[in-house]
């Protein structure tokens, strides 16, 4: 998702089947704006708000960046200008403007960029692969975020009571286990606490930092960029190494864009400039001031800022904040998985709606437990937030770089801005992204391989599914019979007509569903009313009811229907068919049967896909969620007929 491209977040309601309400340019009453801003603080900024727990500590942790006064000021200056350039200018100023019908996030940006360059098929194919790779990397990043966040919070026990060191890992695993186990119950109840708790967290960040800055105000000199430039000029190698940890200060910035559809631009911007950025800057500068006075505090400068009596309450609050940040990422993983599935890059997934009121709150069991297994493995294998930090940055910087590249194609081809302006708008940000990415590439063997391994596995799975579906579609089309011609031949000697409506689901409009062929062969009857339905998912987030159903009359009680859904809509076939009232098609739910063709994939090793990928696709297809459940068909009205497809 810190996602890099999150599309859905915890406790952030969104429209189910209508259009998203983009509030980017709309005026709101002050009370509504304040409520949305508070909610944005909890949902949008949980990730970046927990970075002070470990970011500055990791800069000086291994000694590769010597802890000297000049280096401290140089690092603080780099932190401040990273927050300014990457978050304030890149995300808040530029990328928040690139909304896809009111929605943001890497999936929405991918759809927007691919539509912008649809006149260039080769470029579009490459952008799709790049975007899908970024989405795959998100899952690797998504494993590390809960692990490093919760672990860094619980590590405060080592400062409060060093004898409790042995309890850090068990307590971390216990918190994470409870978090993932609770997902099936939804977040509606605790979601209301996200904003107030996170606001309290930012208040504590600011208070801790301000106390230290007041004791050593000279640290504020680091606001000047000359300290960053001087640090880089005097010690270019050391400054380059420092970038690998400084990037941890901006992890979670992508959530600004991902939650655009839930909150709108104004609340997100107001929360950043009024609360989040001042609190973060104060806390980082407070840690720097402490290091200038007490270099030995480098072992954990965040917790060392707190007085002894406040350590245990601070650990509890930090753990709550990291749980909220992790919850937002887990919810994002559910949403992204659902959206990518509907775009055709993952098999159908079992999706459970956990809230009647907020239909954007979903639970995807297979994604939840796969993430949990990865998080537990990461915590046990790496053992500390410091070790996890080495694995963290490369996934973050890859997604940031991909976001910048796709933004260029959006503003160039969708907005049609001059080339020079597009290069100027994104070129500087790309240089910053590449600098961070290069610095983190040095950590590839220290742990950076871990999110890349997960991302590579997901990318292989996603592209295998997409290519396998394309091949399966080609095989089915090769064997298909055109629907109008088939109906003409059937009605030359019409079969017996029975009362009711038959709904035949077909992957492609205009071809005869295999379920119809089997039904005529075995039952030798045809219903009085026959609807041939094709479900299409589009590269836009929402499609409203007014554009949901497209009808073509085929005569003799037969219609070809195409149902249109955006990648954030919930595909609900009965609900969509209910919209036919008044169009000459009357449906009685108790007299309607749904006929599905269950395709059984048989690897044929024809050389188009590698044999192992054919077997992988067959296994994915076999274990995909039921099409009837995915399309919300009534279980007691579904008839499935098997068809064998050879790749």
Same domain, 195 and 300: yes
The answer to whether position 12 is within a domain reads no
| CATH code for position 359 | 1.20.1740.10
Mention every residue, 6+ apart, whose C-beta is less than 8 A from residue 574.
589, 632, 633, 634
* CA distances, 359 to each of 8, 186, 633 (Å): 11, 11, 18
Please tell me the distance from the alpha carbon of residue 98 to that of residue 407, in angstroms, as a whole number: 7
Look at residue 19 in the predicted model and tell me its pLDDT: 40
The answer to whether position 117 is within a domain reads yes
Mention every residue, 6+ apart, whose C-beta is less than 8 A from residue 92.
256, 268, 269, 272, 273
Nearest residue to 79 (alpha-carbon basis) of 367, 283, 272: 283
DSSP-assigned states of every residue in 521-554: HHH-EEEEEEEEEEEEEESSS---GGGSEEEEEE
Please tell me the distance from the alpha carbon of residue 275 to that of residue 48, in angstroms, as a whole number: 12
Tell me the two tokens of residue 4. 């890099």
pTM (predicted TM-score): 0.85
Same domain, 87 and 124: yes
Nearest residue to 633 (alpha-carbon basis) of 571, 581, 557: 571
Same domain, 301 and 371: yes
Domain span including residue 526: 481-646
Look at residue 28 in the predicted model and tell me its pLDDT: 59
Coil, strand or helix at 399: helix
Nearest residue to 137 (alpha-carbon basis) of 361, 338, 395: 395
The count of domains in the chain is 2
Strands 592-602 and 496-505: parallel
Please tell me the distance from the alpha carbon of residue 385 to that of residue 156, in angstroms, as a whole number: 11
Same domain, 491 and 455: no
The answer to whether position 526 is within a domain reads yes
Same domain, 457 and 486: no
Decide: residue 496, CB within 10 A, 0-12 exposed, 13-18 middle, 19+ buried: exposed
Please tell me the distance from the alpha carbon of residue 594 to that of residue 579, in angstroms, as a whole number: 17
How far is residue 215 CA from its own chain's centroid?
Answer: 41
Tell me the two tokens of residue 442. 């040095």
Tell me the two tokens of residue 638. 């579904």
CA angle at residue 329 from 262 to 400, to 5 degrees?
Answer: 85
Coil, strand or helix at 202: helix
The answer to whether position 11 is within a domain reads no
Longest CA pairwise span in the chain (Å): 95
Domain end (from 466, 495, 516): 466
Decide: residue 313, CB within 10 A, 0-12 exposed, 13-18 middle, 19+ buried: exposed
Same domain, 191 and 272: yes
Mention every residue, 6+ apart, whose C-beta is less than 8 A from residue 249.
48, 51, 55, 56, 79, 82, 83, 280, 284
Same domain, 100 and 57: yes
The answer to whether position 417 is within a domain reads yes
The answer to whether position 585 is within a domain reads yes
Coil, strand or helix at 363: strand
Please tell me the distance from the alpha carbon of residue 299 to that of residue 135, in angstroms, as a whole number: 35
The answer to whether position 98 is within a domain reads yes
DSSP 275: I
Residue burial 466-481, b: 16+ Cβ < 10 Å; e: rest: bebbebbeebbeeebe
Domain end (from 441, 466, 491): 466
Nearest residue to 519 (alpha-carbon basis) of 536, 496, 535: 496
Tell me the two tokens of residue 564. 């249109």
Tell me the two tokens of residue 29. 């009453």
Tell me the two tokens of residue 405. 């590249």
Same domain, 411 and 488: no
Domain end (from 439, 466, 493): 466
CA angle at residue 528 from 523 to 531, to 5 degrees?
Answer: 90
The answer to whether position 574 is within a domain reads yes
Same domain, 506 and 415: no
600: which strand partners?
644
Same domain, 512 and 432: no
Same domain, 400 and 445: yes
Per-10-residue mean pLDDT of the chain, 647 residues long, equals 38 40 50 84 89 93 89 96 95 88 84 89 91 90 90 91 89 94 76 86 97 95 95 94 92 81 87 96 97 93 93 94 88 87 90 69 90 94 88 88 93 92 92 94 89 93 92 82 91 90 90 88 90 91 91 92 91 92 84 87 73 89 88 90 71
Same domain, 259 and 351: yes
Look at residue 358 in the predicted model and tell me its pLDDT: 59
């Amino acid at each position: 998702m810190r996602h890099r491209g999150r599309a859905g977040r915890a406790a952030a309601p969104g429209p189910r089947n209508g259009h998203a309400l983009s509030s980017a340019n709309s005026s709101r009453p002050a009370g509504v704006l304040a409520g949305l801003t508070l909610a944005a603080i909890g949902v949008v900024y949980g990730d970046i708000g927990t970075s002070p727990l470990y970011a500055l500590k990791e800069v000086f942790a291994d000694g590769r960046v010597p802890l000297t006064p000049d280096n401290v000021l140089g690092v603080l200056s780099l932190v401040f200008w990273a927050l300014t350039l990457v978050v304030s200018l890149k995300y808040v100023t530029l990328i928040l403007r690139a909304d896809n019908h009111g929605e943001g996030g890497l999936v929405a940006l991918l759809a927007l960029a691919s539509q912008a360059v649809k006149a260039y098929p080769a470029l579009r194919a490459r952008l799709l692969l790049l975007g899908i790779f970024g989405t795959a990397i998100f899952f690797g990043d998504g494993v590390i975020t809960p692990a490093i966040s919760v672990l860094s919070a619980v590590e405060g026990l080592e400062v409060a009571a060093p004898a409790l060191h042995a309890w850090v890992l068990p307590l971390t695993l216990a918190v994470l286990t409870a978090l993932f186990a609770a997902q099936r119950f939804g977040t509606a109840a605790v979601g209301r606490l996200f904003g107030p708790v996170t606001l309290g967290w930012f208040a504590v960040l600011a208070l801790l930092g301000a106390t230290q800055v007041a004791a050593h105000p000279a640290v504020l000199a680091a606001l000047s960029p000359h300290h960053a430039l001087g640090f880089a000029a005097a010690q270019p190698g050391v400054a380059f190494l420092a970038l690998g940890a400084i990037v941890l200060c901006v992890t979670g910035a992508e959530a600004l864009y991902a939650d655009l559809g839930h909150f709108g631009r104004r609340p997100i911007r107001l929360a950043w400039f009024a609360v989040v950025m001042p609190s973060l800057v104060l806390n980082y500068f407070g840690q720097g001031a402490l290091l200038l006075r007490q270099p030995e505090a480098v072992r954990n400068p965040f917790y060392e800022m707190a007085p002894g009596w406040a350590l245990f309450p601070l650990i509890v609050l930090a753990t709550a904040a990291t749980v909220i940040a992790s919850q937002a990422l887990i919810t994002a993983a559910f949403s992204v998985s659902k959206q990518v599935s509907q775009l055709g890059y993952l098999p159908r997934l079992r999706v459970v709606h956990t809230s009647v009121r907020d239909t954007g709150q979903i639970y995807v069991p297979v994604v939840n437990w796969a993430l949990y297994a990865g998080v537990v493995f990461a915590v046990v294998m790496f053992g500390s937030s410091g070790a996890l930090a080495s694995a963290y940055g490369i996934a973050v910087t890859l997604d940031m770089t991909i976001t910048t590249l796709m933004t260029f194609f959006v503003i160039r081809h969708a907005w049609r801005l001059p080339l020079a302006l597009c290069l100027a708008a994104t070129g500087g940000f790309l240089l910053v992204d590449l600098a961070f990415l290069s610095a983190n590439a040095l950590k590839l063997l220290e742990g950076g391989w871990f999110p890349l391994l997960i991302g590579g596995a997901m990318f292989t799975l996603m592209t295998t599914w997409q290519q396998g579906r394309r091949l399966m579609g080609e095989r089915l089309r090769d064997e298909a019979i055109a629907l109008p011609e088939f109906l003409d031949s059937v009605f030359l000697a019409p079969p017996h007509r029975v009362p009711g409506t038959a709904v035949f689901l077909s992957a492609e409009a205009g071809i005869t569903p295999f379920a119809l062929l089997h039904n005529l062969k075995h039952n030798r009857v045809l219903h009085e009313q026959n609807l041939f339905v094709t479900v299409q998912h589009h590269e836009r987030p929402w499609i409203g009811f007014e554009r949901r159903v497209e009808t073509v009359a085929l005569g003799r009680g037969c219609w070809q229907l195409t149902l249109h859904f955006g990648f954030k809509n919930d595909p609900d076939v009965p609900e969509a068919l209910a919209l036919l009232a008044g169009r000459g098609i009357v449906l009685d739910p108790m007299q309607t049967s749904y006929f599905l063709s269950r395709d059984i994939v048989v690897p044929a090793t024809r050389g188009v896909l590698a044999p192992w990928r054919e077997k992988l696709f067959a296994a994915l297809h076999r274990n995909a969620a039921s099409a009837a459940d995915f399309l919300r068909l009534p279980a007691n009205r579904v008839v499935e007929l098997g068809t064998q497809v050879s790749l």
